């Protein structure tokens, strides 16, 4: 009996499966131990993306109620559970690849009753230390620049499914976006703006469930 070839969707999380990034909300809405602009250090090339996030997240000074409020305000796509179920039923494998932290990703997925393969940076939160990110050195997708190397996750997916799909919204999503075929790329936010300016072809989306709907229409 012949088995069907795999169909793989690799997806970013913050700003892709959610409306807002944890990073943006934490940076602008939570008290901080220091007012130093670590993100500008990254933009200027003085820090890696991972080091900048590590410092920004560790700079958070709030209680559990404060950080949980930020997590809820990320606004996970309300149709995510149904969309994931429909994709799985159609034979799709869904992999999350994130330069953020699996600490809040798994919390939101668990609240929604969704179980997915997640590759993201480990983290532990406490009011005294903020969200402490650890480099995922034991991951086959480890990169000192972003922690989790989304391009490595994407290349592994493409080795199994040459028509694998990628969805993302931010700067760390540009490299994996360049690995997939134009008709297999979904983008919003900064990534979509950059692709438009570069005259690149892609599928724009507003919510993650729109990606699922589009993929299912094609099968």
Q: Would you state the structure tokens that stand for residue 85, as one six-digit string? A: 């179920």
> Tell me, what's the pLDDT at 1?
45
3-state SS, residue 199: coil
Residue-wise pLDDT tens digits, 159-200 = 999 999 999 999 899 999 999 999 999 999 999 999 999 999
Domain count, the chain: 1
User: CA 104 to CA 145: how far, in whole Å?
Assistant: 21
Conformational region of residue 75, where left means phi above 0, alpha means psi within -120 to 50, and beta covers everything else: left
pTM for this prediction: 0.94
> Tell me, what's the pLDDT at 112?
97
Residue 160 lies in a domain: yes
Residue 149 lies in a domain: yes
Residue 56 lies in a domain: yes
DSSP 119-182: EEE-EEEETTTEEEE---TTSTTEETTTEE-HHHHHHHHHHH-TT-EEEE-SGGGHHHHTTS-G
Residue 27's pLDDT band, with cuts at 50, 70 and 90, is confident
Residue 21 lies in a domain: yes
- Own/partner long-range contacts of 168-171 (Cβ < 8 Å, ≥24 apart): 168/11, 168/12, 168/16, 169/12, 169/14, 169/15, 169/16, 170/12, 170/14, 170/15, 170/21, 170/99, 171/49
> Tell me, what's the pLDDT at 33?
87
Residue 2 lies in a domain: no
Residue 208 lies in a domain: yes
Residue 37 lies in a domain: yes
Sign, CA dihedral 26-29-33-35, equals positive
Q: Is there a contact between 122 and 133 (Cβ–Cβ < 8 Å)? A: yes
Q: Would you state the structure tokens that stand for residue 137, as one six-digit string? A: 């050195």
> Tell me, what's the pLDDT at 3?
65
Residue 164 lies in a domain: yes
For residue 154, what are the domain limits? 7-218
For residue 166, give the CATH number of its domain: 3.40.50.1000
């Amino acid at each position: 009996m012949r088995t069907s070839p795999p169909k793989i969707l690799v997806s970013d999380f913050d700003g892709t499966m959610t409306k807002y990034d944890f990073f943006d909300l934490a940076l602008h809405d939570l008290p901080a131990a220091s007012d130093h602009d670590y993100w500008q250090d990254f933009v200027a090339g003085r820090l890696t993306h991972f080091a900048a996030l590590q410092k920004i997240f560790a700079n958070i000074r709030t209680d559990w109620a404060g950080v949980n409020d930020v997590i809820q305000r990320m606004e996970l796509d309300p149709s995510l559970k149904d969309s994931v179920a429909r994709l799985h039923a159609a034979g799709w494998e869904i992999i999350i690849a994130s330069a953020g932290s699996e600490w809040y990703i798994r919390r939101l997925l668990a609240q929604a009753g969704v179980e997915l393969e997640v590759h993201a940076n480990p983290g532990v939160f406490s009011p005294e230390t903020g969200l402490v990110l650890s480099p995922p050195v034991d991951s086959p997708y480890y990169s000192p620049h972003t922690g989790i190397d989304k391009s490595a996750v994407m290349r592994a997916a493409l080795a199994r499914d040459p028509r694998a799909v990628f969805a993302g919204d931010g700067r760390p999503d540009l490299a994996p976006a360049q690995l997939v075929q134009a008709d297999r790329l979904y983008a919003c936010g900064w990534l979509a703006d950059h692709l438009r300016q570069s005259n690149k072809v892609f599928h724009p989306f507003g919510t993650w469930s729109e990606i699922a709907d589009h993929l299912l229409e094609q099968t």
